Structure 1
Amino acid sequence: MPDQTDFDEIVAYLTRTTRLSPAEAVRIVHEILHFMDETPDDFIRRRHRALQTAGCANSEIFARITAELAQWRFRADDYSERQIRRAIYG
């Protein structure tokens, strides 16, 4: 998380450049920071649930997650299909 000065500057910028109130800007910044704190394992589980809900088969899901991890914001090593399965099923 950014230090308080950076946080305050981001909130001030959002209130100055959008129609957000200060309270709304604070909420938005907190939500974005929470989203950015997602770990690779959390991302894998979230995407697995979403893709499973969309009706994808696990073989397709694992391939898509592998491709998405390579392009996502994580600085994680490449995950094998076995590591992805372990993150999902424990």
Structure 2
Amino acid sequence: MLERRTPAHDDLVDHLTRTTALPRGEAARVVLDVLAYFDETAEDYVRRRHRELQSAGLRNPAIFERIQAELPYRAVAPPELSLRQLRRIVYG
């Protein structure tokens, strides 16, 4: 996760404190969380979603199909990954 802010991040924090009821510290945390979310690699996303869906009770065939369907809608979509490639990301 990102831990340092830049002046551009401070502009976002200022905007959030002006337009919401968030105090400055909470707005800074939100900005860092959002930036960390968009900094997540496709491989990290696949691993995280696999854990989340597995803990929700889904089985691997459904998990990998769902992740494959979700990836193109990420903010920066990775190249299309096959089900086999997704399994290799998770299991090596």
Distance 1:89 1:4 in 2: 36
2:76 alignment counterpart: 74
- The question of whether the paired residues in 1 share the 8 Å contact of 2:71 and 2:77 is answered with no
Deviations 1:10-61 (A, max 9, x none): 1111111111111111111111111111111111111111111111111111
Structure 1 gap segments, 5+ residues each: none
Hey, what's the Cα distance between the residues in 1 that align with 2:6 and 2:57?
A: 43
- Letter of the 2:62 counterpart: E
User: What aligned pairs does 1:3-82 form with structure 2 within 5 A after superposition?
Assistant: 4-82=6-84
* Cα pair 1:62 1:81 within 8 Å, conserved: yes
In structure 1, what is the Cα distance between the partners aligned to 2:65 and 2:76? 17
TM-score, with length taken from structure 1: 0.88
Partners of 2:71 and 2:42 in 1: how far apart?
Answer: 8
Quote the RMSD (CA, aligned, Å).
1.6
Number of residue-to-residue matches in the alignment: 89
Task: Name structure 2 gaps, 5 residues minimum.
Answer: none
Regions of 4+ moved over 4 Å: none
